[in-house]
Amino acid sequence: MRQESKRSLNYARSIFYAGRQRMLSQKLTKLCYQKQLGEDTRTEITANLATWSHSQNSLQTGYDSLLLLAKDQPVTLQLLKQMEPLQERLTYNFSIAAEQQASAELLQQIENDERAFLEQMGTVISVIESNAVSNVQYANEKQNLLGLLSGLLLLLEMIFFVYPYHRKLVNAYKKLKLQQVESDVQKHKIEELNTSNELTISGINAGVWNWNILTGEEVWSPKFFHLLGYETNELPATYDTFTYLLLHPDDRDKVNKAIDAHLQQHVPYRVEARLLHKNGTYRWFETTGQALWNEEGIAVRMAGSIIDKDERMRYRQYLEYNEFMLEETGKLACVGGWEYTLATQEVNWTRTMYEILEITGNQTRLPSAAVNNYLPQYREQIRKAVEKATTQGEPFDIEVQLVTDKGNIKWIRTIGLPVFNDKKEVIRLRGVYQDINRQKLRELELIDTKEKLDESNHAKDKLFSIIAHDLRGPIINLKGLIELLQKEQIDKDQFLHYTADVNISISFLSETMDNLLHWAQSQLKGFTVNLEDININAVIRQTTDLYARAIAYKNITLINNNPVAFFVHADLNHVLLIVRNLLNNAIKFTPEGGSITIDTTESTGIVSIRIADTGVGMSEEELEKINHQTFINSRQGTNGEKGTGLGLGLCYEIAEKNGGTIQVASKKGEGTVFTLILPKVGELSVLEH
């Protein structure tokens, strides 16, 4: 009898421990959600996790007087053995969540494992309860049999040996008394068992329900009512009350389908639904249940529980909402988040990271491998930034270009921040990627526009300078000379003496006005190119005739090597403008007694007009400016001739518009050679060719 009582006590203890395990698993899960939302629950998680692990070990190994021997509880021990992988995974994930900011995926894994743990531990409790009931029934039957036998023996002794064996009567009485005491002890243990069950249910904050499917009758525990804010039996405990009064309308179809699937297909019944509280608000509950089927396979009874999960569900919904808003905000701002753990080399990305990098799969990349995505000129910069962040704890904020998986080049802003442990050691990097390609291209476009505006302003200033000085000066001089003649302050002979200078000034004015008009036309509406077949020899002859007096004035020898006619396909006015400017420059910078040579040659598809002088030449710096600037700072000629600096830049631009180009070669003190190359008649342009 004592052995049976001890066994019953072990059953009660085991049920209590198992029930506490369910309660602690729920509490740990809730604490993990609270930590994710910023609450400091690390110490509480660690303490509860230690108790949880100790209790599980006690159930499996028999510590704390839980003597679940294999001969008494083989099924229970087997179930606990099967739970070891689940328990180990939960322990590991609880520990991770206690030490760091748990991800949504980790919290979801914890919640799924906790549900499985509750279900499996519920099965363990059911098996222990079943064994405990069997033990109590066996003990009662044994006690009744012993009592009956003892009574019969005592009756026989009283009939045949009352007086001679009075001592045996006393012993029998003592034995009956002892049995009574042991019976009271057994009754007390059974009460403890029931109390333990009630504590277990209370500990997990669950309301219990029992439904007789055949009669439709239901029984709800007091906790069931209290969880919904009602006094015990304040509502009729019926299926209709639950479905049409308490259950949220949007959840009815889900719950009914889950019940039908369980009763008809034996699918486990576990549903999260909203139930109406007495205060008029809906709260989230997890309702679970298990049916009992008869020999014909018809469900006759179903029992289960409701557990208040409102706070956890709202935490989860809040977390999901924040994640949704963060993801959508990231999409709008083209911002993706990343995290890299140094110890495990684990990399986590948000969905927007894949979109920015145009990755179709779910494969992340280590920082060391991701460096290869950047353009070569940025790789060393990125590598050093990551190295400094991991070894020295320096954050970085860099704008670089990379190549996506689809081969597109993008401007990216990448920000990295180190995360430290208690020892001030960097344990991980967190940061963001921002697709700034559109903004960067716009920024570069604005910079280019600004440069063009600066160039245009420079041109405007140059133009005003030309108009104010270079054009105004000769006109004033000419006007003064005419006034002197009109006032008879000089005679005609003196006037004629100055006509050579006047002619040079007029030529300069004509050339300058021509260049200004063409430049203004190009700035306002662009050049209009009228292509035609041109005899380049005629253009050279017309130009040399125009500058014949200027050439003679400086006693320059002109050599025109054009034995045959060459034809180009270009705009006549444009070609005349270019040749005039090139010949004028040659005259301007050739000293008296020098020479100018003009050669025209042709080769495949092109005609080359070469104008070479024996003038002062140019330095390498001046050559560089000619090749890259629209406006060249003008120099005075060998006889003090003025220039605008507008002509050469205009010639380069016009040559390109006509499908040609200009080449220049010069050496300081040895002269300059300009070569105009134009497309030959019937051929493609030089640029196309």
Q: Does residue 189 fall inside a structural domain? A: yes
The CATH number assigned to the domain holding 339 equals 3.30.450.20
- Give the whole-angstrom CA distance, residue 340 versus residue 419: 10
Q: Do 70 and 170 sit in the same domain of this protein? A: yes
- Residue 225 CA to residue 234 CA, distance in Å, equals 8
DSSP-assigned states of every residue in 153-175: HHHHHHHHHTTTTHHHHHHHHHH
pLDDT score recorded for residue 165: 37
Alpha-carbon distance 407 to 561, whole Å?
A: 55
224: amino acid identity, one letter: F
Task: Report d(CA 170, CA 281) in Å as an integer.
Answer: 69
Instruction: Specify the CATH number for the domain of residue 570.
Output: 3.30.565.10
Predicted local confidence at residue 98, as pLDDT: 86
Longest dimension (CA), the chain: 188
* Residue 655 neighbours by CB distance under 10 Å: 21
Mean pLDDT of 507-526: 60
**Burial of 293 per CB tally in 10 Å (0-12, 13-18, 19+):** middle
User: What are the CA-CA distances from residue 661 to residues 142, 511, 520, 651, 675 (Å)?
Assistant: 119, 21, 21, 9, 8
- Whether 153 maps to a domain, the answer reads yes
Sign of the torsion angle spanned by Cα atoms 389, 395, 400, 405: positive
Please give the pLDDT value at position 136: 56
* 100 phi and psi angles, rounded to 5 deg: -145, 175
Task: Give yes or no: residues 113 and 85 share one domain.
Answer: yes
Are 264 and 396 members of one domain? no
C-alpha span between 354 and 521 (Å, rounded): 51
Q: Cα separation of 151 and 175, whole Å? A: 11
Q: Which of 46-60, 177-191, 403-417 has the lowest mean pLDDT?
A: 177-191
Residues 108 and 198 in one domain: yes
Q: Are residues 180 and 221 in the same domain?
A: no
d(CA 568, CA 608): 10
Query: Which residue has tokens 């009939």?
Result: 159
Cα(661)–Cα(676) distance, rounded to whole angstroms? 6
Q: With CA atoms as reference, report the closest residue to 579 among 615, 535, 633.
A: 535
State pLDDT tens for residues 268-279: 999 999 999 999
- Distance, in Å, from the CA atom of 121 to the CA atom of 114, rounded to the nearest integer, reads 10
What DSSP assignment string belongs to 29-82?
HHHHHHHHTT---HHHHHHHHHHHHHHHHHHHH--TT----TTT-HHHHHHHHH
- Report the Cα–Cα distance between both ends of the chain, in Å, rounded: 113
Q: What is the CATH number of the domain that holds 90?
A: 1.20.1420
Q: What is the pLDDT of residue 500?
A: 60
Check pLDDT > 60 for residue 176: no
Return the residue matching tokens 């600096």. Answer: 645
The arithmetic mean of pLDDT across residues 10-33, rounded, is 79
Give the three-state DSSP class for 325: helix
pLDDT for 652: 85
Residue 529's pLDDT band, with cuts at 50, 70 and 90, is confident
Q: Is residue 623 part of a domain?
A: yes
pLDDT at 260: 92
The residues, ordered by sequence, that sit 6+ positions from 533 with a Cβ below 8 Å of its Cβ are: 567, 568, 569, 681
The answer to whether position 44 is within a domain reads yes
Number of domains in the chain: 4
User: Which structure tokens are listed for 434?
Assistant: 């921002």
- Specify the pLDDT at position 597: 94
The sign of the torsion formed by the CA atoms of 174, 177, 178, 179 equals positive
591: DSSP letter: P
Among the candidates 203, 232, 262, a domain finishes at 203
**pLDDT over threshold 60, residue 613:** yes
Comparing 61-65, 87-91, 122-126, 468-472, the range with the smallest average pLDDT is 468-472
474 within a domain of the structure (yes/no) = no
Same domain, 264 and 169: no
Question: What is the total residue count of the chain?
Answer: 689
pLDDT of residue 534: 93
> Across all residues in the chain, what is the average pLDDT?
77
Q: Tell me the pTM.
A: 0.35
Q: Are residues 166 and 100 in the same domain?
A: yes
- Asked if 595 and 558 count as a contact pair (C-beta separation under 8 A), the reply is yes
148 domain residue, yes or no: yes
Same structural domain for residues 245 and 192?
no
Span 465-480, mean pLDDT?
Answer: 59
- State what percent of residues in the chain have pLDDT above 90: 17
- Residue 102, domain member (yes or no): yes
Return the minimum-mean-pLDDT range out of 26-40, 311-325, 403-417, 583-597: 311-325
Q: What is the mean pLDDT of residues 539-543?
A: 87
Query: Tokens in use for 128?
Result: 């222990």
Same domain, 192 and 224: no
Query: Looking at 282, 315, 348, which one is the last position of a domain?
Result: 315
- Mean pLDDT is lowest, of 240-244, 294-298, 479-483, 611-615, for 479-483
Instruction: Give SS3 for 107.
Output: helix
User: What distance in Å separates the CA atoms of residue 218 and residue 236, rounded to the nearest whole number?
Assistant: 9
Of 137, 169, 203, the residue that ends a domain is 203
* pLDDT of the residue at 611: 94
Q: Assess whether pLDDT exceeds 60 at residue 524.
A: no
Residue 407 shares a structural domain with residue 429: yes
Please determine, for residue 168, whether its predicted confidence score (pLDDT) is greater than 50.
Answer: no
In this prediction, residue 65 carries a pLDDT of 47
pLDDT band at 37 (very low <50, low <70, confident <90, very high): confident
Q: Please indicate, yes or no, whether residues 406 and 502 belong to a single structural domain of this protein.
A: no
The alpha carbon of 263 is separated from its chain's Cα centroid by a whole number of angstroms, namely: 46
Residue 689, in any domain of the structure: no
Residue 281 has pLDDT above 70, yes or no: yes
- What is the span of the domain harbouring residue 262? 206-315
- Report which of residues 525 and 128 the model is more confident about: 128
Quick one: pLDDT band at residue 636, thresholds 50, 70, 90? low
Chain segment 382-437, per-residue pLDDT in tens: 889 989 999 999 999 988 888 888 888 889 888 889 999 888 899 989 888 888 88
Same domain, 427 and 548: no
